[in-house]
Amino acid sequence: MWRKRRREILPDDRKISDPDKAYAKTMKRAVNLLAAKPRAVEELRIRLLEKAWTNEEVVGRVLAKLKEYTYLDDEQYAKQTALAAIRQRPQGRHKLRQTMSRKPLDRETKEMAIEHAFEQMPESELIDAVIEKRLRLKGVPETREDKKKLYDHLLRKGFSYDLIREKISGIRID
């Protein structure tokens, strides 16, 4: 996907003549960004600082106000993101950890969100859904090679070796 390259604005380039106007403008931009999609606090901070008409102080005030209104909550954001990821595409713990590693959150928050997601949707149910879909599309594996392809597919989806072995052992090849 093509994305416009953002140029960094140096502190000398930031011009704020009216702090109240800058605050209002920054708040409006923050609300618009949050309306488009939920964001982590750090992600929103970076996006708000892309404009020359704001600075760290104004952005800090805006973020504090948004937290006060509970529009920003990293823990809630992490939980929703992890759960949405496994609902949209069933995947194992390893793949979800990789997906969550791209989010600007601290490690404990990410791990807590991953645990919460798998409490809501157990990994054994997710692997069953992935296997069912794969069998529907490709059919029951008839050769050792087909079984290996299914096994590799499940590994790429991020499921653990033991769980895959347990689930595939029920599938017989001729």
Range of the domain at 58: 15-68
Q: Which residue has the higher pLDDT, 57 or 11?
A: 57
**What are phi and psi for residue 92, nearest 5 degrees?**
-85, 180
Cα separation values, 147 from 89, 91, 130, 136, 156, Å:
22, 19, 14, 14, 14
19 and 63, same structural domain?
yes
- Quote the pLDDT of residue 11: 65
108 inside domain: yes
Angle separating helix axes 144-156 and 123-138, nearest 10 degrees: 140
85 inside domain: yes
- Summarize the confidence of residues 10-38 as an average pLDDT: 87
- Quote the pLDDT of residue 4: 63
Instruction: Give the CATH number of the domain where residue 152 resides.
Output: 1.10.10
- Quote the pLDDT of residue 163: 93
The tokens describing 132, both together, are: 């069912």
Q: Which residue has the higher pLDDT, 18 or 91?
A: 91
Count how many domains the chain has. Answer: 3
Is the confidence at residue 2, as pLDDT, over 70?
no
- Quote the pLDDT of residue 172: 62
128 and 113, same structural domain?
no
94 and 60, same structural domain?
no
- pTM for the complete prediction? 0.81
- Quote the pLDDT of residue 19: 85
92 and 64, same structural domain?
no
What is the share, in percent, of the chain residues with pLDDT greater than 70?
91
Give the pLDDT band (50/70/90) at residue 174: very low
pLDDT in tens, 98-138: 999 999 999 999 999 999 999 999 999 999 999 999 999 99
**Residues sharing a CB contact under 8 Å with residue 131, sequence separation 6 or more, in sequence order:** 150, 154, 167, 168, 171
